[in-house]
Amino acid sequence: MESIVHRFEINKRVTKNIVHDVQSWLLKTYTPGLYTAIFLVTPYTFYLLNRLN
């Protein structure tokens, strides 16, 4: 059960990162959290997903 909750939270973060990227692309401007999402949260999220496997 705990693993399911962790995976849900991690997938939620990945979705939020994708939304930040798409917003910047569509609006052709900077959106708050863009660089953090791309360079910090996304790599750490993939690291966590690999650790759960």
**How do residues 2-51 score in pLDDT, each as one tens digit?**
788 888 988 898 888 888 888 888 988 887 777 888 888 888 888 888 88
| CA dihedral sign, ordered 39, 42, 47, 50 | negative
The pLDDT, as a whole number, for residue 1 is: 65
| pLDDT confidence of residue 25 | 87
Whole-prediction pTM = 0.65
Quote the domain boundaries for residue 19.
1-52
Q: Considering its fold, how many domains does the chain have in total? A: 1
What number of CA atoms fall less than 13 Å from residue 7's CA on the CB side? Answer: 7
Structure-token pair, residue 46: 């993939």
